[in-house]
């Protein structure tokens, strides 16, 4: 099967596995795993931050970040399709007991003006606006992204209004691949950022949360409470280190392949709508006058191609480390025959 459902489906390469087997490990709850410590140090440096924390998932990183940034009764501002709101099992509400102000962004990208207008006035009736969460790249926005200038502009609104700023950067390196921004600048503009090692970077497990020493100290307690304190997880961190060293530059290949698929879909008479292809994600809707999304999924499945369904009409395809040019040609051949 050619699996375009998500960039989470990648399997570790043999070199990555070799790095994992060679890892030096220790008990990370005691802070004694040298490989995890090296990964955390590297991640913090990359983003111009003081410290970092290795977590089992991106969801845990986001949940920890939201909890350390808020008190119960506070309000979080984010786009209506944000992963932190839609895809984390209601965790924001259950773990942090906060309310959410949902904004209608441009393919999920919210503007400084929208953020400013969503901040509650000082009045005991309202929850206290405390935290803004941005997603970069935006999953449900079809892989759209923020540039550093856009992040900076939102950070200024946050600073002026005493709000904290968290970036859900599950696919941050896909954004950086396109913008060419220096990741260290995040350290100047935001409080916390999470990113996944287990998506486009190709590691089997793990995500990082980066922030200040104080925030990561709080994060450590919250991660423990959530059950995310792991022991000899350096074997997993070794895969993450390997990914950061070897799998960032190749993301351009994924973006080029997504572009090619986008061109084919653009030409296809049976596609009703295609979101602009900006990174490694394609979101499109087939024209029900030609074929329903159910039929399309079924036909692709029969041809050995797996895709995911987004809402009720949209299909998502994601390019990644385990999709090569032969796979791409095969997919294009099938799409052209529909
Ligand atoms: C995948 C993803 C996450 C984290 O997901 P996990 O599966 O928990 O690692 C967070 N935000 C976005 C936008 C994602 O796509």
218's enclosing H/E stretch is helix 213-225
Using 50, 70 and 90 to split pLDDT, how confident is the model at 167?
Answer: very high
> Could you say which of 246, 280, 297 is where a domain stops?
246
Q: Check whether 253 has a pLDDT greater than 90.
A: yes
Pocket probe for ligand 1: among 192, 196, 228, 318, the residue whose CB has the most ligand atoms within 8 Å is 196
Decide: 143 in ligand 1 pocket, CB within 6 A.
no
Mean pLDDT of 62-69: 98
Decide: 58 in ligand 1 pocket, CB within 6 A.
yes
Measured in Å, residue 215 CA sits from the centre of ligand 1 at: 21
Q: Check whether 3 has a pLDDT greater than 90.
A: yes
Mean pLDDT of 95-124: 98
Can you give the CATH number for the domain in which 224 is found?
3.40.640.10
Same domain, 261 and 209: no
Same domain, 239 and 264: no
Measured in Å, residue 65 CA sits from the centre of ligand 1 at: 14
Using 50, 70 and 90 to split pLDDT, how confident is the model at 312?
Answer: confident
Same domain, 148 and 296: no
**Ligand 1 atom closest to the CA of 207, numbered from 1:** 9
Q: What range does the domain containing 192 cover?
A: 9-246
Residue nearest to atom 2 of ligand 1 (CA): 170
Decide: 139 in ligand 1 pocket, CB within 6 A.
yes
What are the contacts of 116-121 at 24+ separation with CB within 8 A?
Answer: 116/157, 116/161, 118/77, 119/77, 119/161, 119/163, 120/75
**Ligand 1 atom closest to the CA of 137, numbered from 1:** 13
Mean pLDDT, the chain, rounded, equals: 98
* pTM (global) more than 0.75: yes
Sheet holding 314-318, edge to edge: 271-274, 281-286, 314-318, 308-310
- Which tens digit of pLDDT belongs to each residue from 185-200? 999 999 999 999 999 9
Direct distance between the N- and C-terminal alpha carbons of the chain, in angstroms, rounded to an integer? 18
Same domain, 258 and 167: no
What is the C-alpha to C-alpha distance for residues 81 and 102, in angstroms, rounded to an integer? 8
Q: Check whether 311 has a pLDDT greater than 90.
A: no
Mean pLDDT of 124-128: 97
Using 50, 70 and 90 to split pLDDT, how confident is the model at 123?
Answer: very high
């Amino acid at each position: 099967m050619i699996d375009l459902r998500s960039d989470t489906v990648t399997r570790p390469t043999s070199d990555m596995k070799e790095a994992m087997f060679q890892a030096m490990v220790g008990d990370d709850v005691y802070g004694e795993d040298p490989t995890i410590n090296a990964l955390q140090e590297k991640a913090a440096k990359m983003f111009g931050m003081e410290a970092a924390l290795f977590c089992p998932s991106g969801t845990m990183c986001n949940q920890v970040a939201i909890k350390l940034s808020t008190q119960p009764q506070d309000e979080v501002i984010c786009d209506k399709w944000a992963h932190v709101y839609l895809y984390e099992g209601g965790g924001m509400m259950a773990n942090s007991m906060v309310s959410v102000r949902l904004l209608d962004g441009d393919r999920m990208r919210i503007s400084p003006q929208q953020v400013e207008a969503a901040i509650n006035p000082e009045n005991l009736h309202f929850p206290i606006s405390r935290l803004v969460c941005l997603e970069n790249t935006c999953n449900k926005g079809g892989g759209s992204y923020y540039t550093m200038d856009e992040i900076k502009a939102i950070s200024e609104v946050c600073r002026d209004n005493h709000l904290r700023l968290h970036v859900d950067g599950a696919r941050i390196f896909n954004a950086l691949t396109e913008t060419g921004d220096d990741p260290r600048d995040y350290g100047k503009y935001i409080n916390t950022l999470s990113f996944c090692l287990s998506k486009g970077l190709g590691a089997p497990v793990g995500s990082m949360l980066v922030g200040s020493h104080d925030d990561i100290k709080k994060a450590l307690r919250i991660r423990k409470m959530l059950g995310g304190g792991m022991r000899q997880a350096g074997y997993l961190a070794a895969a993450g280190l390997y990914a950061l060293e070897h799998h960032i530059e190749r993301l351009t290949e994924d973006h080029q392949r997504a572009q090619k698929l986008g061109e084919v879909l653009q030409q296809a008479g049976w596609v009703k709508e295609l979101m602009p292809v900006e990174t490694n994600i394609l979101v499109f809707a087939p024209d029900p006058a030609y074929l329903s999304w159910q039929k399309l999924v079924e036909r692709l499945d029969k041809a050995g191609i797996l895709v995911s369904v987004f809402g009720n009409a949209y299909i998502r395809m994601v390019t990644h480390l385990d999709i090569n040019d032969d796979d791409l040609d095969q997919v294009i051949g099938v799409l052209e025959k529909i």
